[in-house]
Amino acid sequence: MTKKIIFLLSIFMAFCSLHAQGKAEKAITTFFEKYPQEKIHLVFNKNSFVAGENLWFKSFVFDGYNLSSISTSMFVEMYDSNNSQISKEIVPLLNGQGSGSFTLSENLKEGVYYIRAYTTWMSNFSEDFQAFRQIIVYNPSSPEKVVLNDASQWTASVFPESGTLVEGINTKCAVRLQSKGITPSEWSGYVVDAAKPDVKISTFKGFDQNVGAFSLTPKAGVQYQLIINDSKGNRKVIDLPAVSGSGINLQVSTGNDAVKFSLKSKNIAPGTVYKVIGTIGSQIVFKVNSDKILEKTYSIPADQLINGILQLTVFDEKESIIARRLIFVQPGLLKIKKPEIQSMKLNESPRALNSFSINPEQNNNAYTVMVLDGSSENPEDENSFLSTLWLTGDIASKIYKPSQYFTPVRNNEALDALLISEVWKRFDWRTIMSDRFPLINYQPQPYISYKGKVSIQGKPASNAELNLMFEIPEYGSKLLQIKTDDKGFFALKGLLFEDTIKFSYQLNDPKIPAEQVQVIFQPDYSFVPLKKPLPESNYILIQRQSEDQLSETVKRYVATKNTQSNIDEKATLIEEVKLKAKKKDLTKELNEKLSSPLFKSMNETIFDFVNGNNSTNGYMNILQWLQGRVPGLTIESSRGSSIPRFRGSTINVYLDEMLLDPSQINTIPVSDIAMVKVIKGYFSGGFGGGNGAIAIYTKRGGTTGSLSDFAASTKLKKSIMHGFDKEISFVSPNYNDQNFSKISQDSRTTLYWNPYIEAETKDQTGIQFFNNDEAKNFKIIIMGFDTKDYVPIYYNEIVQ
């Protein structure tokens, strides 16, 4: 699950024992180890659509600050503004990434819609941390139209740093704006003594549409008020919290070199012991416990941390919380890797061919690439890949345009003020210190999983062998055997396929008539109903008037939709824009030829004896050849047979996808073997075996594992399994092909969309796309993730 990406700072060992475990340390350690937290970034090909269009999406699922390995499936649902579900899909997560599409019905009414995304594991925690993305769907035939809500009232709140105002201690205060609509872009304020309203004590100007800040040295007994004015003449008067005559104030500053903090106090007895714990996510990264803590300023070296939200919490001797603060680590030095783009050839001429290439990144397995007309909306403008990873994935409150805090022209003071106004809600210290942890109702299953029950004349078929014959296009029929438990139940885990698979079944007992056998299959996963209200929108619906004109954006979408059907009819996808764009090497081609979908896994190691340099000279047994070549795999000898084990657990051996006793391996000439793959963990062909397998394919492979009598399964009972929802292909015109010459108008906004391009280890990844009729520049967005250094790979620029 969560990897330890940061380390406790050894510099503080001189004045605190990191091994001394109080309630807080024990609680957070338990939470970190047993309750990892996933978060999802969703990006669409655009943010607004017209009814009848297709919506494509890409997801990145993180466990803290690394791509998640917890979940292998993601649930995606579409809702209207009344919380009614319109559509739903389940998509596979490969190395923490997934993609899919929705077809928006022609009959959708114009309005605000929401895409919800979550994993089974995330369903155990607050819905606030699931992904909710708003989209606008236009429909010129609807009686109502959607408009920006710029008339809604706004409110403001004041948040002193660390939560309190203490007499005589100069304190930074954040001012946070909220609204059901749009908050003002220009606003300012000043602080007064309520008894002397004409005297301004402190003044400030809002940083952005979220937050502003001011400093105040308060006096006990004075009631302070904040007066806020916006550019439209609206005015708000807000009471500040009461001033305490004694207490602790946690003051923090963050820079590129260090996070510094100190505890300022008033009327606190000297020698009082306080404890400060620093956490990133739910992992302790810093701790100090001292009776001299009020006398010092502490510095946490930033180079030992990562970009992200650091929570500092101050505890007293009874481990009660007396102050806390959120800070972003190194806001001025964001660790972002830029993909190296080369050979960029752009042509602004209508329908011209454009291209560029991406140099391979060693620690990144795939890129997401989209190219947009430079005049169109950018789906990363509101909430970007970076802002989800570092901010909104863990902060659930409404933030206007959070992406602004991670751009090259970002305002670090604004981000700091925003975090002063927030409280960490991934866990509550008081709750977990009372040994009250989240109730786990949902356990993630590997990919698609099914459970079933076998009955014979209504009674459970205990410990029975069941033959399943799968009919797989292009691979023929595959026979697999499973065994029920003492109550007739069985499980099929790790299925990785799209759409549906047909299969037949019968008990492996000729004495039992087929008509007496009943098998009931049920998916071992479920969509979890939404309980909370949907997020508030900045848009509202108003009555459409007969004289209303369509906006230029809507006109363009309507034109594009009308043209797209013509493109779809004529399009033959060029190699560069296939869904899984890549150069296929010979080993990949061999794997595709020999392996059926049931024996494919994202966690497999392939040895190619046809095209590779794998020499088996001197080996009489292929299992012995494998010894030492796959981490975790050992080959043990027992009574003349080789027994394969992976991390101590015995794994099965398959010959041309038929289960084989390891003792029979000696009968297979090594020279007859075309390919061997070692699969780790669950895979479809294992049916309940979670330890993996060794699959051996002979040079006649691909036929040995198939049924010789393809008609035999037609005599048996049949059923269907539903897999992952199939993604609609993103189709672009190829103007080098004369078939596209009759397209009258091309106003596409998304010129290229590829959610998963495998990063080549040697060759550059090539991208090609054709211009529309209008584009004069291009928005190029590239996303990936360095899994070694925990650093996002990101490029989001306009080029021309």
Are residues 757 and 582 in contact, defined by beta-carbon separation less than 8 angstroms? yes
More confident residue, 699 or 652: 652
Whether 715 shows a pLDDT value over 70: the answer reads no
Whether 331 shows a pLDDT value over 60: the answer reads yes
The pLDDT value given to residue 673: 87
Residue 233 falls in which region: left (phi positive, over 0), alpha (psi -120 to 50) or beta:
left
Coil, strand or helix: which one is 120? coil
The pLDDT value given to residue 500: 82
Segment 783-794 shows an average pLDDT of 92
Whether 763 shows a pLDDT value over 80: the answer reads no
The pLDDT value given to residue 2: 41
Segment 108-113 shows an average pLDDT of 95
pLDDT tens figures, 225-269: 999 999 999 999 999 999 999 999 999 999 999 999 999 999 998
pTM: 0.84
The pLDDT value given to residue 579: 36
CA pair distance 661, 470, nearest whole angstrom: 22
The share of the chain scoring above pLDDT 70, in percent, equals 90
Whether 122 shows a pLDDT value over 80: the answer reads yes
**Residue 494 falls inside a structural domain:** yes
**Residue 513 falls inside a structural domain:** yes
The pLDDT value given to residue 435: 95
Segment 786-794 shows an average pLDDT of 91
Give the least confident one: 365-379, 396-410, 548-562, 649-663.
649-663
**Residue 395 falls inside a structural domain:** no
Average pLDDT, the chain: 86
Per the DSSP assignment, residues forming a β-bridge with 795 are 782
Segment 734-750 shows an average pLDDT of 85
**Residue 371 falls inside a structural domain:** no
Of 109, 112, 107, 41, whose CA–CA distance to 81 is shortest? Answer: 112
Bridge-based pairing state of the strands 309-315 and 633-638: unpaired
**Residue 245 falls inside a structural domain:** no
The pLDDT value given to residue 58: 97
Report CA-CA distances (Å) from 581 to 318, 575, 756, 768: 59, 7, 8, 11
Segment 752-763 shows an average pLDDT of 79
More confident residue, 602 or 183: 183
Per the DSSP assignment, residues forming a β-bridge with 77 are 88, 116
Instruction: Read off the DSSP letter of residue 338.
Output: P
Whether 689 shows a pLDDT value over 60: the answer reads no
More confident residue, 598 or 394: 394
**Residue 62 falls inside a structural domain:** no
CA pair distance 581, 379, nearest whole angstrom: 22
CA pair distance 569, 417, nearest whole angstrom: 53
Where is 23: in which H helix or E strand? helix 23-34
* Predicted confidence band of residue 773 (pLDDT cuts 50, 70, 90): very high
Segments forming the whole domain that contains residue 503: 448-528
Per the DSSP assignment, residues forming a β-bridge with 259 are 254, 300
Of 396, 428, 415, 424, whose CA–CA distance to 174 is shortest? Answer: 415
Segment 322-344 shows an average pLDDT of 94
CA pair distance 115, 97, nearest whole angstrom: 17
Domain count, the chain: 1
The pLDDT value given to residue 474: 59
* Predicted confidence band of residue 563 (pLDDT cuts 50, 70, 90): confident
Could you give the residue ranges of the DSSP H alpha helices within 466-606?
552-570, 586-594
**Residue 512 falls inside a structural domain:** yes
The pLDDT value given to residue 26: 95
**Residue 483 falls inside a structural domain:** yes
Segment 780-795 shows an average pLDDT of 93
3-state secondary structure 564-599: HHHHHHHCCCCHHHCCCCCCCCHHHHHHHHHCCHHH
CA pair distance 596, 660, nearest whole angstrom: 17
